[in-house]
A and B are shown apart, each in its own frame.
Chain A
Amino acid sequence: MLNFDWLSGVSAETAKMIFFGLYILIGVLVIMLPNDYIYEGIKKEDRHWWNNLKIWSVAVLSILATVYYQF
């Protein structure tokens, strides 16, 4: 049990889908965060799309998913 032999029937493709599912879940959770929380610390007039950390996070997750798709 400690060696996770009970998951040995799961194929590498299915395992990869589990990782993709994880990235999508994280992405959805980040997108659901309120904008005020994301911008906390920046004055209202200085809030722009390029300092929206949701966009930064989704971009990083997309690159990560692409890497796992490639390999």
Chain B
Amino acid sequence: MLAGIDYFIVIAYIVGMLLLGLYFKKFVSSSEDYFLGGRSLPFWAIGMSIVVSDIGALDFVGVSGQAYRYGISVGNFDWVGSVPAMLLAAFIFIPYFWRGGMYTIPEYLGRRYNKSVRTIASATWILFFALDLGVLFWASAVLLNVLMGWPIWISIISTAGVVGLYTYFGGITAVIMTDVVQMVIMFIGGFALVFLSLDAVGGWENMVDKISTMGPEYRSHFDIIQPVDTKSPFPWTGILFGLTFVMSNAYMIGNQSIVQRCLTAKNEWHAKASMVFGSALKMFIPILVLFPGLMAVVVHPDLADGDQALPMMIKSILPPGLVGLMFAAFFAGLMSSVDSLLNSTATLFTKDIYEPFIKQDADDKHYLKVGQITTLVLLIMGVATAPISSDFPGIYVAIQTFMSYFQGPLFAILLLGIFWKRTTQWGGLSALVIGIGFAILLNVFKANFFTIEDPFLYISWWSFLLAFIINVTVSLVTKKHTDEELKGLVFSSKIITKNKS
């Protein structure tokens, strides 16, 4: 499928990323450098890194496929499903975490609630990230195998080698700065596909006219708000309650790989600005990933599987050279997801598991070494478990679904933890455990409870609500924390009206 120029672009991209990532090795001399980039990074790099980490190659294919099937309502995930949450994170949560000098979200939960809450939250993230690594390695290997003709094992080891080397040596600084380049490549490749596809369908108006006349199933393809009784997974109630109120906040405020980036900012303004800037960039993501899926409805109207929409558009629309660039964009999405998982998991393990439970009060070089060794171990585990993905084709979706069930209860305890000083450790712990259990129960019996195809948005909302109620109820009947224990951990208007400077 690739021409000579495409091969050159892809290989130049991979080698370039490796060299760029390794350059940042010289800035790592402490654990703070490794996990938080020495708290020295600018907002624009962090903002770009947040966006590119959030969108992977699998999302490119998946979202285009959903746009092909359901239309523009998929864009809600990057629009209303990101921007309000990123602004809330920027102005309320991130300043707290940044001022507290924290490394991880579970670290906050541990200080606010207790060690058990910290360990459960951290262990869940570690499990999720570790499982995801193998899946992502397999996905990148399949891409390399199909497009470059490389054998699967060579593909896995080359991806792991490139990403692993710069993440191992350069830590989060290498991760963020390579993400910047990856985002630029992703935007150039993505926009090239959008503009050429738009030309192929005769412009936007023409495309809308054609799709609207294709039959009743396409009637609401251009309605961003879907009714409650829609059969798609995106009714407006799910978008508002499940996505906007719960999942997006849980993701932007409670996801280690997102928040950790903001904590690398050189000062509080840069930490806030990184989220606001990221939210601006986020507005473009649906254009890149959703529009090609919509245009495929016109160009390839009879696809049996919507996930074929993007590959088919690349194959039929892009000329040599741009195919290589688009593939580099895919690869950029995968690499940015893998490097984020590696560094965030190493941070969670070192800070929330190793330091409190295995070896306290060691010198800083020791924790730096532990972080690097954890990165290496994760890399080996990811490579070893990658082939499992071929036996379970739905494993990526299953892992994402599992995480969506964790996020409702997690956001409930984060929200109450920061805004309500009466919340106690037992309220938080019981809300987290019962909330996750309830989400799993709803998922197992979803056919009995829900009428839409995939009710993950509703499950997030109801598990959040139950966790919220349990946290409040249990907190009211258990011993409250003292003001001394809560110092710097609960929201106070003083943080807004009286500043350090």
Contacts and interface: CB of A to CB of B under 8 A. Distances in A.
Given A19-B240, A40-B500, A41-B267, A57 B225 contact: no
Nearest to B495: A37
Contacts of B80: 19, 22, 64, 68
Contacts of A19: 80, 225, 236, 240
B355 interface: no
Interface string B435-463: 00000001000000111100100100010
A3 B280 contact: no
Interface residues of B, number: 52
Interface in A25-63: 26, 30, 33-34, 36-42, 51, 53, 56-57, 59-61, 63
A58 B184 CA distance: 25
B40 to A, nearest CB: 13
Nearest to B500: A40
Interface stretch (B3-11, B83-91, B147-155): B83-91
A40 B95 contact: yes
Contacts, number: 121
Contacts of B267: 41-42
A34 B280 contact: no
Contacts of A37: 91, 495-497, 499
A41 B225 contact: no
B401 to A, nearest CB: 17
B348 interface: no
A34 B501 CA distance: 13
A58 to B, nearest CB: 10
Contacts of A4: 228, 235, 237-238, 241, 458
Given A7-B228, A42-B269, A57-B87, A12 B496 contact: no
Given A4-B228, A30-B87, A64-B83, A57 B499 contact: no
Interface string B210-235: 00000000000011111111000001
Contact of A71 (B72, B83, B279, B449): B72
B32 interface: no
B499 A53 contact: no
A35 B241 CA distance: 31
Given A2-B449, A40-B499, A64-B83, A12 B227 contact: yes
Given A41-B270, A53-B273, A59 B496 contact: no
Interface string B226-270: 111100000111101100100000000000000000000001111
Interface string B358-387: 000000000000000000000000000000
A10 B228 contact: yes
A26 B500 contact: no
Nearest to B278: A60
A40 to B, nearest CB: 5
B83 A3 contact: no
Contacts of B277: 56
Interface in B252-306: 267-273, 276-277, 279-280, 283
Chain A interface residue bracket vs B: 35 or more
Nearest to A2: B449
Contact of B269 (A7, A30, A51, A57): A51
A26 B87 contact: yes
B450 A71 contact: no
Given A40-B95, A61-B83, A2 B280 contact: no
A2 B462 contact: yes
Interface of B: 72, 75, 79-80, 83-84, 87-88, 90-91, 95, 222-229, 235-238, 240-241, 244, 267-273, 276-277, 279-280, 283, 442, 449-452, 455, 458, 462, 495-497, 499-501
14 contacts: A2-B442, A2-B458, A3-B455, A12-B223, A19-B225, A23-B84, A40-B272, A42-B269, A53-B276, A56-B276, A60-B283, A61-B87, A64-B283, A68-B79
Given A2-B458, A56-B276, 16 more contacts: A4-B235, A4-B237, A19-B80, A19-B225, A26-B88, A41-B268, A51-B273, A53-B90, A56-B273, A56-B277, A57-B279, A60-B87, A64-B80, A67-B79, A68-B80, A71-B224
Listed from nearest, the 6 A-B pairs whose CB atoms lie closest are: A41-B269, A41-B267, A4-B237, A41-B268, A71-B224, A15-B236
